Each structure stands twice: as C-alpha cells, then as structure tokens.
Amino acid sequence: MKVDYLGRLQQARRIVVKVGTSTLTHASGKLNLNRMEQLVRQLADLQNQGKEVVLVTSGAVGAGLGRLGLNERPSSIIERQAMAAIGQGLLMQVYEKLFSEYGPIVAQVLLTRNDISDRKRYLNARNTILALLQYRAIPIINENDTVATEELKIGENDALSALVAGLIEADLLILLSDVDGLFTADPRKDHSATLIPVVVEIDQHIRAMAGGAGSSWGTGGMVTKIEAAQMATAAGTSMVLMNGNEPSRIQRIFNGEPVGTAFLSSHNVVSSRKRWIAYGPQVNGAVVVDAGAERALLRQGKSLLPSGISELHGEFEEGDMIQVVNSEGMELGRGLTNYGMEHLQKIMGKKSIEIEMILGFKTADEVIHRDNLVITALN
C-alpha cells in the first residue's frame, strides 16, 4: 500500500544529496571508487529525469589522509587543513572524471560559515548555486576546510547540507550514511534497535535516540543528522536519511517506495529571511528573560523589550545575533539585537520609555523586534 508521504517525496524536484566520509572511503581511508561511480551514475540519472541535483560531499580530509597513506585523522587543525587541501583536489578530480562520463557538468563550491552568516554573501552564494542549476550543472559543495578557522567553521557537512537545502529552497535533502536510517537506538550498540521509517515531528523522544559517530572516519553521528533534519524540515525541505552503500537505492524514493527514514517538512515553514536569522549568523551572546517576557514571546508573538531582560552573557554589539534563553537556560529563540552589550547593561529591566533618558538616544523600543526574531523553542 502506498503511503501518502511517499507520494510527496516522489514529487521532489530540487534535491540536495549529502554523502559522508564513511560512504566515500574504504576502511583503509582510500576513496571507494566503485561506490563513487554508482553515486555519480545515480545523480546523473536523476538529472536526466528532469531533477535539479546538488551534491554536498565530505571526504576531503579522508582522501588527503588516504593519499598520504596515513590511517588516522591528525589531531592538529593545521594538519587536518593540509589534508583537506590535498584531498579536495583529488575528490574533485574523481567526480569530474566520473560525471563527465555520464554527461553532467560539475562545479566546485567551497563555503565557510561567513558565507552563510553574512546576509550579502548568503544571497550571493544562493544566486551562484541557482545560476549553476540553470546551466544544468551539478554544484559539488564542501566546506572550505583549508581556510575556515575552527571558530568560523560550520563544522560538519550534515549541517552544511541542511543550510544549503535552505539556501536554495530544495524540496528534498538526502543524507547518505553508513546506517540504514534512524533507529530507536544506536544499532551498533543495541542489536534490538529497530528502524523508524518516518518522523513527522522531531521532539525530545526522537533526539534521545541519537548517539555519536559510528566509524573513526565519520564526524557527527546521529546527533548532527537529527539537527540537520530539524533545520531542513523547518525550512520546508523534507529529508531522507538512508544507507549510502548502494547509491542506486536513491531511485526508490522517486519510485514512491519507502527507504531509510523520512523526516517530513514542517507545514509551518518560516520565511527565507527568518530562516537565515535562525541558522545563518554566528551567535555572539545571550539574554536571559523573565517568565513574563517568555510568555510574551512564545504565546503572544511579541517583540523582546528591555523590561523582560534579567541577565546578559557574551559580548555583542548592535546588529549581532543573540540567543534568548529563559531562567533555566533553555533557548526560546534567536534574533538580531538593536542594542549592544554595553547599552543593554544600562537599560535591561527598564521600561522602553526610559531608554532615551538613560542612554541619551533610542534606536528602538524593542531590544529584538519581532521581525528579527525567530522562536526556536516550539520546534
């Protein structure tokens, strides 16, 4: 019997596929060329079916290690960056060769957190990727590991692929991993764990199932995959997490058959600008709010006023992204602040009409205007 959500996934036209290191490399660390060949053939075939395809690929560090004959990830960041520089070229060379056999043009896109944090660069990256799709090219995206310093890193490609899916408003994100999908517990540790075919809402119960990475090559484990699912589904992109060991099985999604775990996109899709606010800029600090402000934000759709703020953390300036947390430390939302740390210290707990008297100027009545605020607590 065909289940309704399968029909929805089958219709997807713009697709982001993310492939992890564990899928791309052998246990030896060398590239798994057979698998890459099958993946490329499947993606080329999706394009032949009229779909737009974007590939987010890991494996630069892994391929660099394999090339140098090393079998352990170096612990120093500099060394890993050097590995990535060696491996990225190798990775692209293999993709270029394989894709050219089946037809599609490929394009390398390397992104850093800044390209997502900065609204101008975000829009620029979006336009470039959309232009590539217009040319029927397949953008092959990875993090620019060689130049992204640790504090400016997105960190791993599950998150990068979800950000990319949001960036280009993809219909579907497919995460290829070394596991068949989300299980009730880590199947490597708990043999009685069972596969969950579909997730409609990512709640505490689902998050609690996730464990860490399964191989020494993978980085994120299930935690980052669920975080990616959360980002993607909130942005209107459904996600399928499936095993990448037989890439031709991707086709099953488009035949309307169940495969892996499907995370269905939320009906409550946030606007593109709010999506950028939620997941784009780096968080520079936090404000703790009282119960009254928490209610106003969560229940009444109000802006954050200085009167509801009781504590400040971090160092931030006007225009920066800050977290809004309650007294128990739970994140309620994120937004762009109208006041920097120094000024906010003077006006927190005060009424908006007092702002000008205290500071000698007033940027706005609100510390975070509703338009610049995204509530994350209800997701």
Ligand X SMILES: Nc1ncnc2c1ncn2[C@@H]1O[C@H](COP(=O)(O)OP(=O)(O)O)[C@@H](O)[C@H]1O
Which segments are annotated as binding site for ATP?
18, 177-178, 219-225
Burial (0-12, 13-18, 19+ Cβ within 10 Å), 193: middle
Which residue, 154 or 287, is less far from ligand X as judged by CB?
Answer: 154
**Tokens in use for 293?**
């402000």
Task: Return left, alpha or beta for 164; rule: phi > 0 is left, psi -120 to 50 is alpha, else beta.
Answer: alpha
Task: Return left, alpha or beta for 242; rule: phi > 0 is left, psi -120 to 50 is alpha, else beta.
Answer: beta
Q: Which of 219, 265, 303, 337 binds ligand VHF (CB under 6 A)?
A: 219
Shortest CB 19 distance to ligand VHF, Å: 8
Residue 6 contact among ligand X, ligand VHF, none, beta carbon within 5 to 8 Å by kind: none
Residue 10 contact among ligand VHF, ligand X, none, beta carbon within 5 to 8 Å by kind: none
Give the residue ranges of the annotated binding site for substrate. 58, 145, 157
User: How many C-beta neighbours within 10 Å does residue 183 have?
Assistant: 20
Which residue, 66 or 236, is less far from ligand VHF as judged by CB?
Answer: 66
List of residues 6+ apart from 358 with CB closer than 8 A: 346, 347, 350
Handedness of CA 329, 150, 170, 181 (dihedral sign): negative
**Which span (1-9, 100-108, 128-136, 213-221) binds ligand VHF, by CB under 6 A?**
213-221
Map residues 193-212 to x or -, x wherever contact with ligand X holds by CB under 6 A: ----------------xxx-
End-to-end Cα spacing for the chain: 31
Task: Return left, alpha or beta for 182; rule: phi > 0 is left, psi -120 to 50 is alpha, else beta.
Answer: beta
126 vs 166: CA distance, rounded Å = 10
The answer to the question of residue 155 lying near ligand X (CB under 6 A) is no
Shortest CB 207 distance to ligand X, Å: 10
Q: Which of 29, 166, 220, 280 binds ligand VHF (CB under 6 A)?
A: 220
289 vs 305: CA distance, rounded Å = 10
The answer to the question of residue 64 lying near ligand X (CB under 6 A) is no
State residue 232 phi and psi, 5-degree precision.
Answer: -65, -50
The answer to the question of residue 60 lying near ligand VHF (CB under 6 A) is yes
Which residue, 156 or 294, is less far from ligand VHF as judged by CB?
Answer: 156
Q: Sheet containing 137-143: give its strands across.
A: 105-111, 137-143, 52-57, 14-19, 172-177, 238-243, 261-263, 198-199
**Which span (18-26, 62-70, 161-169, 269-277) binds ligand X, by CB under 6 A?**
18-26
Give Cα 115 distance to the centre of its chain. 13
The answer to the question of residue 236 lying near ligand X (CB under 6 A) is no
- DSSP code per residue over 47-70: HHTT-EEEEEE--HHHHHHHHHT-
Q: Tell me, what amino acid is at 32?
A: N
Map residues 158-187 to x or -, x wherever contact with ligand X holds by CB under 6 A: -------------------xxx--xx-xxx
Q: Which of 156, 171, 294, 366 binds ligand VHF (CB under 6 A)?
A: 156
The answer to the question of residue 244 lying near ligand VHF (CB under 6 A) is no
**Which span (16-24, 103-111, 269-277, 365-373) binds ligand X, by CB under 6 A?**
16-24
Residue 183 contact among ligand VHF, ligand X, none, beta carbon within 5 to 8 Å by kind: ligand X
Q: How many residues does the chain have?
A: 379
Residue 221 contact among ligand X, ligand VHF, none, beta carbon within 5 to 8 Å by kind: ligand X
- Residues that bind ligand VHF in the complex, under the rule CB under 6 A: 20-22, 58-62, 84, 142-143, 145, 156-157, 218-220
- Residues that bind ligand X in the complex, under the rule CB under 6 A: 20-23, 177-179, 182-183, 185-188, 209-211, 213-215, 218-222
